[in-house]
């Protein structure tokens, strides 16, 4: 019998709970409550924490991890499509629905995005409203804003 391993990892925007086993990562969620971080990261989760470290330091723009998110076939398709959105770019729910072949599935697509179990790695934070608004994000709109700014920082031009 396979057991999931869990680690609590400190990020600049909250404690991430990372869950996985030899078949891959099943969940990365951000917690609002203060919880003790894991001192000794389980070997199977070390690659994830290393890549998240690099992401938050600004040296990683894509992830190379074995993923095993649990969801319906439709949710899996939606999450797979999210992986095609490049670092520093955004996509609307409508564009995502079109890419999945059903413009009328926009609400179902939005719902599946909201159930994305792999925070940051499957980049649902890159989905915005058609009017450019930062709509729904399970981790909170302030985190979505932070992540988008982290991935696409505005460069201050010198006046002199």
Catalytic residues: 124
Torsion on CA atoms 21, 8, 128, 148, rounded to nearest 10:
-120
Torsion on CA atoms 86, 90, 95, 97, rounded to nearest 10:
80
C-alpha neighbours within 13 Å on the C-beta side of residue 130: 10
Give SS3 for 41.
coil
Q: Which residues lie closer than 8 Å to 32 by C-beta, 6 or more apart?
A: 14, 140
């Amino acid at each position: 019998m396979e057991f999931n391993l869990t680690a609590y990892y400190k990020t600049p925007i909250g404690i991430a709970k990372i869950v996985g086993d030899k078949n891959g990562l099943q969940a990365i969620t951000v917690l609002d409550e203060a919880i003790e971080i894991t001192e000794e990261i389980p070997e199977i989760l070390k690659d994830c924490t290393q890549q998240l470290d690099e992401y938050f330091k600004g040296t990683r723009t894509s992830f190379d991890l074995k993923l095993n998110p649990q969801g319906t076939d439709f949710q899996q398709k939606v999450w797979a499509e999210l992986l095609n959105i490049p670092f520093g770019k955004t996509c609307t729910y409508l564009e995502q629905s079109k890419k999945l072949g059903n413009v009328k599935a926009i609400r179902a697509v939005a719902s599946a995005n909201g159930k994305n179990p792999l925070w940051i790695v499957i980049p649902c934070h890159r989905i915005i409203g058609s009017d450019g608004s930062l709509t729904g994000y399970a981790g909170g709109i302030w985190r979505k804003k932070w992540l988008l700014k982290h991935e696409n920082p505005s460069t201050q031009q010198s006046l002199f």
